[in-house]
Amino acid sequence: MKVRIEKLDNFGRGITYINDKICFVEKALPNELVEIEILNEKSKYFEAKAISIIESSTDRIEVDCPYYDTCGGCSLRHMSYLKENIYKEEKVKELLNHIGKLDVKVNSIIYGPENNYRNKVTLHNSKNKIGYFAKGTKNIIEIKNCLLLDNKINEVILELKLYDKDIIIRTSNDSKDIIINDNKTIMTNVGNKKYFLSKDSFFQVNKYLTKDLYDLIRKGINKKYNTCLDLYCGTGTIGIYISDLVDKIVGIDYSKSNIIDAEKNKKLNNIDNISFICDKVENRIEKFKSIDLIIVDPPRAGLDNKTKKYLQIINPERIIYVSCDPVTLARDLKDLSDSYKVLEVTPVNMFPRTYHVECISVLERKKR
87 contact partners, CB below 8 Å, separation of at least 6:
8, 12, 76, 79
296 contact partners, CB below 8 Å, separation of at least 6:
231, 232, 303, 307, 311, 319, 320, 321, 322
What whole-number distance in Å separates Cα of residue 126 and Cα of residue 144?
15
Backbone torsions φ then ψ of 253, nearest 5 degrees: -155, 145
Quote the crossing angle between the two packed helices 326-336 and 81-98, to the nearest 10°: 30
Which residue of the set 146, 228, 324, 359 is catalytic?
Answer: 324
Q: Is 359 a catalytic residue?
A: no
What whole-number distance in Å separates Cα of residue 279 and Cα of residue 307?
13
- Cβ pair 297, 238 in contact under 8 A: yes
Residues with a known catalytic role: 324
